Amino acid sequence: MKAKTLLLTLFPILTIFPQWQNIWTSPNIPGEAITGYLNFQKTANGWLKRLYYLDSTKFYISSSPTSLSPEYIYYFTPEEKLAGYQLYSIQTDLTSDGITEFYVLGYVGTSTNYRQTVKIFDITNNGIVFQGNQNGYSYSFPTFIDINSDGLLDCVFLKYRYPYDNLYFYEIYSTGVTPIDEPIEPIGYNLNQNYPNPFNGETNISFSINIGADVKLKIYDLKGEELTTLVNEFKPAGNHSVRWDGTIENKRVATGIYLYELIIDGKSSVKKMIYLK
């Protein structure tokens, strides 16, 4: 009688993890709405997040991270709707209530040459903290930084004459606010001068960012009219370069001076370039 061989199959010991627990399922959200989470309230242990909701008429902050019910609501003005609902969190408390302030841009003027306004506001009561809306001038996005190292935040704007005459200047305000969050650092990106400049074929526009971010790169004429968008997507940290051949919808632009603007996280940098046929 032949001996029988017992074959053993060895299986690894599996670790069984507990099932994930669903803590919230939101109601249906319209496809045209923009939603997400942002740092809203500063505490000793860090920022508490809230859900935000933006559509074609309003922006609101929900009552909790697991709710779509609004607690604070801001309604867009016609000028702000025209600007494309460009509302951003500053992630800085300017009113000493521990809650971030926001700013929103507006367009005033004709469709061929808008004048840009800016408003910084407290969303808890919609009170205006700062209003940049002056006839004859167009305002950039605000940047918050301690310019003179006195421990207080300063607010920096680029201010352009309107209509644009190829000149701009800095306008700096002391807020008198000591930041309760981490120190504010300079903008974490750099926009380089295009090369070659002047150009008559192609030119390269390069920039660098220190963290991954949503990036826009736009071209304008000297009147401030937007001509085209070269970049509108998420870019990883590092150096980037974009080519422009001086065409808009396959048509060559006229000889002259043009502006290119890099927009990252609601802040921007602008340089000029010269196109020669």
Beta-carbon contacts of 245 under 8 Å, excluding residues fewer than 6 positions away, are 201, 202
Look up residue 132 and give its two tokens.
Answer: 């940049």
Count up the domains in the chain and report the number.
Answer: 2
Q: Is the pLDDT of residue 57 over 90?
A: yes
Last residue of a domain, one of 128, 151, 174: 174
| Same domain, residue pair 258 and 208 | yes
Pair 93, 221 in one domain: no
* Residue 16 included in any domain: no
Are 129 and 214 in the same domain? no
Q: Which domain holds residue 56?
A: 34-174
Same domain, 199 and 104: no
* Residue 111: inside a domain: yes
Q: Are 65 and 37 in contact (CB under 8 A)?
A: yes
Residues 219 and 154 in one domain: no
Identity of the amino acid at 142 = P
CB 207, CB 195: distance < 8 Å: no
**CA angle at residue 192 from 189 to 198, to 5 degrees?**
160
CATH number assigned to the domain comprising residue 253: 2.60.40.4070
Highest mean pLDDT among 96-105, 175-184, 192-201, 206-215: 96-105
Residue recorded with tokens 């006839």: 135
Full DSSP string of 72-141: EEEEPPHHHHHTT--EEE--S-SSSSSB--EEEEEEEEETTEEEEEEEEEETTTTEEEEEE--TTEEE--
Residues 196 and 219 in one domain: yes
Q: Are residues 208 and 89 in the same domain?
A: no
pLDDT digits (tens, 9 = 90+) for 142-168: 888 888 888 899 999 888 888 877 778
169 and 38: one domain? yes
Final residue belonging to a domain, choices 142, 174, 206: 174
Highest mean pLDDT among 5-9, 62-66, 179-183, 223-227: 62-66
Task: Verify that 129 and 204 share a domain, yes or no.
Answer: no
Does the model's pTM come out above 0.75? no
Does residue 207 fall inside a structural domain? yes
In which band, very low, low, confident or very high, does the pLDDT at 112 lie, cut at 50, 70 and 90? low
Look at 125 and 85; give whichever has higher pLDDT: 125
Q: Is residue 73 part of a domain?
A: yes
119 and 234 fall within a common domain: no
pLDDT in the model for residue 185? 43
Judge if 207 and 237 occupy the same domain.
Answer: yes
Residues 62 and 141 in one domain: yes
Confidence of residue 12 (pLDDT cuts 50, 70, 90): low
Task: Examine residue 24 and state whether it is found in any structural domain, yes or no.
Answer: no
Q: Which of 123, 143, 174 is the last residue of a domain?
A: 174
Coil, helix or strand at residue 224: coil
State the pLDDT at residue 188.
61
**DSSP at 195:** B
Question: 211-253, pLDDT tens digit by residue?
Answer: 667 889 999 988 888 999 999 987 876 778 899 999 998 888 9
